Amino acid sequence: MSGPLAGYKVLDMSRILAGPWAGQLLADMGAEVIKIEKPVVGDDTRHWGPPYLKDTAGNSTEDAAYYFCANRGKKSVTVDITQTEGQAIIRQLAAQTDVLIENYKVGGLKKYNLDYESLSAINPRLVYCSITGFGQTGPYADRPGYDFLIQGMGGLMSITGEATDNNGNGGPVRTGVAVTDLFSGMYAANAIQGALLERHSSDLGQHIDIALLDVQAAVLANQATNYLIGGEVPGRIGNSHPNIVPYQAFATRDGHLILAVGNDAQFQRFCDVIGEPQLALDSRYVSNRMRVENRETLCRQISECLKTHDTRDWLQRFEDNHIPCGPINSIDQVFDHPQIVARKMQISIIDERAGEVAGVANPINYSRSIIDYAVPPPQLGSSTESILGEYLEYSALEISELRNKSII
């Protein structure tokens, strides 16, 4: 492996999305990531399909497309950690590992002596990252947490979706991807790298406690400070922005477009383009503050104007006049977009079963360091024997005995 984290070794004992997302980010940056999975079953997301990866003959494999989003660059080792011999394997790997990522319930690994206290006694330099729904402390610590639940509990769904009207239409909506899991994985990867940097001076690892609910509260961002400083509880306003107007989706004659008018000069140009220059001089709309206060009347007038022409026509006019705007693309349109193509955001990884498999690139672009996509998401247990034999020096006979006992 190459990249800025080349030489670091990560033991990824996580499943589903938040932990594997963190592990994949570290793998992309060159760390050697060993994914520990349950024998036979593996990561739950291997079975979260359809769709499933198809082999070169067009037959579905056992791995779902979902699994492929968060596990490239890793090696899969199957270990039954409920068995004494399996626990011994994990302890031996942890002894020579820089980082361990896990997302078991609080205390779930302690009964196997695989918790931070137990493993740090073996390897004081170990950076041990726990990702849970609610963290290691607090009254909800023992509860399981899932992205959808956390989006609701953490306030995101209270500000996502159309406002409920008098007929009961509208209501809370979760985001189209598991953003709480993804943000938690990003925070975890950042925290891990920070701990590795700190270790240069202390020569000690530490325990990182990441909670999905904490992360969701943190990424409320301006909506959180709108409440904490402004004192008003934000609500659902559909595609509108709480602090900027006009900054939302509008219907056109044949579809929709997004306007993101961020300052008064842009607003004046916008009014000229839509043929309503007097709007920029109207005392109700001369500043963003006034436009926010008079959002309803302004957006009603804008909506009427935009319905007179097609989306493509408006987008061209706005772009020609440097007014921030954009289409609402479907996912196939995203990967056909010339900017996405130019930025090489779609990649191909070679899988021995399926040949070339399309994937999404890591969006980080270093000027010198390399993001490596040479290793596809691993088949279940594909590196078990090599890791046990080469890293832990188990003999072929010992490995065979472990397999016969269903420990690996």
Chain segment 340-350, per-residue pLDDT in tens: 999 999 999 99
Q: In what order do the strands lie in the sheet with 247-251?
A: 247-251, 256-260, 325-326
Task: Check residue 164 and give its pLDDT.
Answer: 86
Across the range 181-187, mean pLDDT stands at 98
Mean pLDDT of the chain: 96
The pLDDT tens digits for 138-158 are: 999 999 999 999 999 999 999
* Structure confidence at residue 179 as a pLDDT band (50, 70, 90): very high
Across the range 43-53, mean pLDDT stands at 97
* Distance set, CA 280 to CA 17, 259, 283 (Å): 47, 16, 8
73 alpha-carbon distance from chain centroid? 16
Task: Check residue 384 and give its pLDDT.
Answer: 98
Question: What stretch(es) of the chain map to CATH 3.30.1540.10?
Answer: 247-332
The pLDDT tens digits for 104-118 are: 999 999 999 999 999
Task: Check residue 86 and give its pLDDT.
Answer: 98
Is residue 114 within a helix (H) or strand (E), and if so which, with residue range?
none
247-332 CATH, one of 3.30.1540.10, 3.40.630.40, 3.90.580.10, 3.40.50.300: 3.30.1540.10
- Judged against a pLDDT cut of 80, whether residue 168 lies above it is answered with no
The pLDDT tens digits for 196-239 are: 999 999 999 999 999 999 999 999 999 999 999 999 999 999 99
* Rg (alpha carbons) of the chain, rounded to whole number: 25
Phi, psi of 8 (to 5 degrees): -90, 145
Architecture of the domain made up of 9-219+370-404: 3-Layer(aba) Sandwich (3.40)
Question: What stretch(es) of the chain map to CATH 3.40.50.10540?
Answer: 9-219+370-404
Task: Give the residue numbers marked as catalytic.
Answer: 181
Task: Check residue 140 and give its pLDDT.
Answer: 98
Task: Check residue 1 and give its pLDDT.
Answer: 59
Both tokens of 352, joined, read 């021995």
Task: Check residue 2 and give its pLDDT.
Answer: 78
Q: How far apart are CA 364 and CA 68, in angstroms?
A: 19
79 close to 49: Cβ distance less than 8 angstroms: no
SS3 132: strand
27 close to 73: Cβ distance less than 8 angstroms: yes
The pLDDT tens digits for 59-95 are: 999 999 999 999 999 999 999 999 999 999 999 999 9
pTM of the model: 0.94
